Amino acid sequence: MKLKKFIGNKNYSVGAKNFSPLRNQNIMQNILITGSNGQLGNEIRAISENYPNFQYFFTDVDELDITDKEQIRRFVAENDIHFVINCAAYTAVDKAEDDEKMAYLINAEAVKNIAEIAVERKVKVIHISTDYVFDGTNHVPYTENMPVSPTSIYGKSKLVGEEVLMQTASQSIIIRTSWLYSAFGNNFVKTMIRLGRERDSLGVIFDQVGTPTHAADLAEAIMKILNSEKWISGTYHFSNEGACSWYDFAKSIHRLAGVDCKVNPIETKDYPVRTPRPFYSVLNKAKIKSTYELEIPHWEESLRKCIADLVCSERS
Ligand SMILES: NC(=O)c1ccc[n+]([C@@H]2O[C@H](COP(=O)([O-])OP(=O)(O)OC[C@H]3O[C@@H](n4cnc5c(N)ncnc54)[C@H](OP(=O)(O)O)[C@@H]3O)[C@@H](O)[C@H]2O)c1
C-alpha cells in the first residue's frame, strides 16, 4: 500500500551506507533515529520537516545495527550526532518467548552499546520502552515510580534495557508507551480492518484494559521535547488519553473505517496466546504533560486521524 503521508527528508539520502547530509553545524543539531523503518521511526520521519532546526539520520538495521557497538561509535563520530532516538527494538512479543537470546540482544545489550557511546561522545538519548514492564495487576493508572514486574521475555528484556541505559547514561530520557499503532507497519488497527472485511464476526478480548497510542502523537511529543531545549532526564509515560479494552478499540476501528462486522466480547481465558498480557496497563501521563506542557489527544480522536490516513492512502 502506498502511503501519501510518507515523506523523505530532503537534507540527505537514505540508503544502505549512503548518507550525504547538507551540513550547517552552526544551526543544526544532528539526530540519529535507529529502527526508523518501524512504526515510530516512520512517524518521526513524517513530521521531521516541521522541525527544520534538526538534521535527521534515519537508519534501520541495514544502515546501522545497534547490536554492533563499533558501528554505532563510528556512525555517531562521523556524523557528529547530538541526540539518539532509539526506536529500534525486538517487538514480537510471542516470538520472544522462544527467541530469548535475540530479544535480550536487541532490547538490552544493544541499548547498553548506545548508552556507552552516548557517554563517550556526550550524546543525549531518548529511549522507548513499554507498559509490559508492569504485571498489569493495578487498578489505577501506572506512574513512573510504581514497582515493575514484567511477566514476558519481551517485557523483561525491555526492563533490562531501561536499567542498563540509566546505570550507564543517567542523563537519558526513557518514554514508556502502550498499544502503539500507526499507518505504517503492522498493528492491531490494520489487523482489525483486514479481519473485519474478511469475516462476518470476530471475537475480541474485553477484559484487558489499556490505552492505544497513535505513534504519530508519540513522535510529536518526542520532537517537542527536543525542540523545547529543556532536557530533564528520567522515565516518562506516554499514551493517548482515556482507556479502553481491546474489544472497545476494535469496535471503534470498525465504526471509523466503515467496516461491517459483528465484534463479540471474549475473555482472555478463551483466547490462548503464547505470552500472558497485562490485564491493566493504563499509564499515568501527568509527569510528561506537566514537564513538557504537552496536550495529548484522546485515543479515539487520534484513531480517527490514523484511519482517515489509511483510507486516503487506499484510495490513491
Ligand atoms: N508496538 C507496540 O505496540 C509497542 C508498545 C509499547 C512500546 N513499544 C516500543 O516502542 C518502540 C517502537 O516500537 P515500534 O512499534 O515502532 O517497533 P517496530 O515497528 O517493530 O520497529 C522496530 C524497528 O527496529 C528494527 N530493528 C530490529 N533490530 C534492529 C537492530 N539490531 N538494529 C537496528 N534496528 C533494528 C526493526 O527491524 P525489523 O522489522 O527488520 O526487525 C524495526 O524496523 C520500541 O521500543 C517498542 O518496544 C511498542
CB 296 within 8 A of CB 236: no
CB 145 within 8 A of CB 180: no
What atom of ligand 1 comes closest to residue 67's alpha carbon?
A: 31
The pLDDT confidence band at residue 26, using thresholds 50, 70 and 90, is low
- Out of 14, 42, 58, 60, mutate this one to test ligand 1's pocket (max ligand atoms within 8 Å of CB): namely 60
**Within-domain flag for 191:** no
- Taking only the tens place, the pLDDT of each residue in 86-144 is 999 999 999 999 999 999 999 999 999 999 999 999 999 999 999 999 999 999 999 99
* Residue 21 reports pLDDT greater than 80: no
What atom of ligand 1 comes closest to residue 106's alpha carbon?
A: 31
CATH number of the domain where residue 87 is located: 3.40.50.720
Cell 475480541 locates to 204
- Taking only the tens place, the pLDDT of each residue in 236-264 is 999 999 999 999 999 999 999 999 999 99
pTM exceeds 0.85 for this model: yes
**Within-domain flag for 197:** no
**Within-domain flag for 17:** no
**216 phi/psi in degrees, rounded to 5:** -65, -35
Beta strand spans in the chain (E)? 29-34, 54-58, 83-86, 124-130, 173-177, 180-181, 201-205, 209-210, 213-214, 234-237, 244-245, 262-266
What atom of ligand 1 comes closest to residue 68's alpha carbon?
A: 31
* Residue 12 reports pLDDT greater than 90: no
Separation in Å, CA 245 to CA 12, 136, 148, 271: 42, 13, 22, 14
**Within-domain flag for 35:** yes
pLDDT at 124 (0 to 100): 98
Ligand 1 center–CA 4 separation, angstroms: 22
The separation between the first and the last C-alpha atoms of the chain, rounded to the nearest angstrom, is: 9
Which residues are marked as active site?
A: 154
Q: What is the mean pLDDT of the chain?
A: 92
* Domains identified in the chain, total number: 1
**Within-domain flag for 102:** yes
Residue-number span of the structural domain to which 174 is assigned: 29-182+215-240+276-298
Q: For residue 15, what is the enclosing H or E element?
A: none
Q: What is the spatial distance between Cα 103 and Cα 158, in angstroms, rounded to a whole number?
A: 9
**Within-domain flag for 261:** no
- Kindly state the percentage of the chain with pLDDT values over 70: 91
Ligand 1 center–CA 91 separation, angstroms: 5
Among 155, 74, 163, 88, smallest CA distance to 120 is for 74
Q: What is the spatial distance between Cα 104 and Cα 268, in angstroms, rounded to a whole number?
A: 27
* Residue 44 neighbours by CB under 8 Å, 6+ apart: 33, 36, 56, 58, 85, 87, 219, 222, 223
* Residue 2 reports pLDDT greater than 70: no
Cell 472485511 locates to 197
**Within-domain flag for 106:** yes
Separation in Å, CA 294 to CA 66, 128, 212, 223, 310: 30, 18, 17, 11, 26
Task: Spell out the SS3 assignment of 138-189.
Answer: CCCCECCCCCCCCCCHHHHHHHHHHHHHHHHCCCCEEEEECCEECCCCCCHH
Mean pLDDT over residues 176-194, rounded? Answer: 97
Q: Report the nearest-CA residue for atom 8 of ligand 1.
A: 130
**Within-domain flag for 204:** no
Q: Report the nearest-CA residue for atom 7 of ligand 1.
A: 130
Q: Which residues have any ligand 1 atom within 6 Å of their CB?
A: 34-35, 37-40, 60-61, 65-67, 87-89, 91, 106, 110, 128, 130, 158, 177-180, 185
